[in-house]
């Protein structure tokens, strides 16, 4: 089941490079949630007293550049294809074009861009009245979350929890895990069970 648009929007904001408005935007998006989940409150709490320069330095170290390579590259293709601009990057770019999403300067499989796309679909879903249109948007959003967001964000979350020094980015890792991690594990279990069933059904 897809999340409310404010959830995607908050997580997308948290993944952006921090500027002078960063803390205020994170706080505002957390307060916009229908229910302020514990993971969202932890992110807000972790920003209190955090110096902007420290947040910027940590963002660059985790996501952009560090000795030996960034420990948390925020691109789906790195996790699923093992390289930047892999096949999955082309897949999501084609999906964005199909839905009329304008290109940005960021790579299409950048976590914040994927979450922004999910935000747009979730908002569109809320505004539609025709059942056929709602079904199309809902199916697209659920498939995008299943095939993309849940396919790699839990691994990014685990890397963040392991590599982050600042409490905010540790909280962000926990948030990504809370939103996208549980069902991903359940999906893997169902796939493994299905594979076992196919094996057992083989003729002897």
Nearest 5°: phi and psi at 167?
-60, -35
Cβ atoms 15, 112 nearer than 8 A: yes
CATH number at residue 88: 1.10.3480.10
Contact 120, 142 (CB under 8 A): no
User: What is the domain count for the chain?
Assistant: 1
Distance CA(4)–CA(16), nearest Å, equals: 20
Supply φ then ψ for residue 86, to 5 degrees. -75, -175
Q: Could you read off the pLDDT of 107-150 as tens digits, one per residue? A: 999 999 999 999 999 999 999 889 999 999 999 999 999 999 99
Where b means 16+ CB within 10 Å and e means fewer, 50-61 reads beeeebeebbeb
Q: What's the domain range around 170?
A: 5-200
pTM here?
Answer: 0.86
Residue 111: closest CA among 27, 40, 179:
179
Q: Which tens digit of pLDDT belongs to each residue from 27-85?
A: 999 999 988 899 999 999 999 989 999 999 999 999 998 667 899 999 999 999 998 88
């Amino acid at each position: 089941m897809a999340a409310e648009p404010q959830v995607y929007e908050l997580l997308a904001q948290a993944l952006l490079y921090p500027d002078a408005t960063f803390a205020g935007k994170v706080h505002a998006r957390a307060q916009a949630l229908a229910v302020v989940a514990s993971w969202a409150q932890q992110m807000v709490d972790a920003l209190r007293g955090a110096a902007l320069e420290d947040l910027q330095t940590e963002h660059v170290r985790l996501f952009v550049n560090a000795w030996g390579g960034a420990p948390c590259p925020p691109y789906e293709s790195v996790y699923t294809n093992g390289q930047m601009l892999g096949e999955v990057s082309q897949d999501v770019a084609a999906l964005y074009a199909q839905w009329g999403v304008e290109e940005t300067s960021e790579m299409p499989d950048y976590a914040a861009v994927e979450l922004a796309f999910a935000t747009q679909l979730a908002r569109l879903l809320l505004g539609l009245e025709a059942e056929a249109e709602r079904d199309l948007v809902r199916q697209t959003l659920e498939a995008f979350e299943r095939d993309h967001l849940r396919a790699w964000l839990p691994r990014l979350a685990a890397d963040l929890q392991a590599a982050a020094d600042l409490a905010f980015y540790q909280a962000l890792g926990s948030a990504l895990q809370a939103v996208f991690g549980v069902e991903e594990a359940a999906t893997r279990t169902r796939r493994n069970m299905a594979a076992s069933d196919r094996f057992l059904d083989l003729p002897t």
